[in-house]
Amino acid sequence: MNCFIIVLGKIGIDLYVKCKKNKIFKNIIIFNRNKNSEGAKFCKKNRFSYFNTGIAGLVKKIKKSETNVIFDATSASASVININKLKSYLKDIFYINLTPSKVGDYVTPYYSLPRFTRKFNLITCGGQSSVPLILEINKKINNKIVYVELVSSIASLSAGKATRENIDEYIINTQMAISRLTKIKNNKVIINLNPSNPPVNMMNSIFFEINNKLSAIDYTKIIKTVKLINQRMKIYIPGYNAKLFKTEKNNIFRITVRVIGQGDYLPKYAGNLDIITSSATHLAKLIYEKKNYN
């Protein structure tokens, strides 16, 4: 299987390193259009397979290859342009969108692959870390959740140019994915960039409101569910850790998710970015296994 990564930045380079570690790819090539960028210099220095020919260069490689996975780690607006240029090749490629645009079908690799799609949308780091918790907990307590609020807090230093430009898209895409995947349409998403130094680790706080008082049995079910989700998430996001907190109100509880990155290229405090690159490589592994072992 061949892997192509569009753009060159923090996420793109970290993704390249993770794909190398994954060992399922025959070729891994990274594309951008600025040969003088810091990322391009890093790739050349470390002898990565890198081209500054952008989408045009990528398309030429597609024609010469067999099974392909394309990771789009550009921006929300650029991903729309990119998919339009790539749509005629979707019979032969899998497109994985790491940007907070609406391109592709929402998916979290916590679950098995959806059928009949070649365009995957990884939502956002907030979506990846929260959707399994919301969905599984709601099942266990018999669909009692009536409102969910997700507050993401990340280190300012982990928010690059594209992240800052895509704040609105982050909020909209995360809310839409929560509504669609968990069926809880009454939800809200907030993101904070924390300028503290030293940088803080990424943290998501998820507030749940239910339609009546939480029972002791409900709490037991939630604790067991959180434990199971931690175990399964750590398979592909090793630094993932969710913890339940009670509140003063007996119909509201909070789950805090902290993610410490693996430090492949990105700093360990950038857990928000590590969530996306880890999810992307694990999704590619699921695609590989489905094509080769099913």
- Which residues are identified as catalytic? 125
Neighbours of 216 (CB within 10 A): 7
SS3 for 133? Answer: helix
How do 145-155 and 202-210 pair as beta strands? antiparallel
Query: CA angle, corner 240, sides to 103 and 169, nearest 5?
Result: 25
SS3 for 238? Answer: coil
Q: Which residues are bridge partners to 240 per DSSP?
A: 259
SS3 for 140? Answer: helix
Of 222, 224, 230, 158, whose CA–CA distance to 195 is shortest? 158
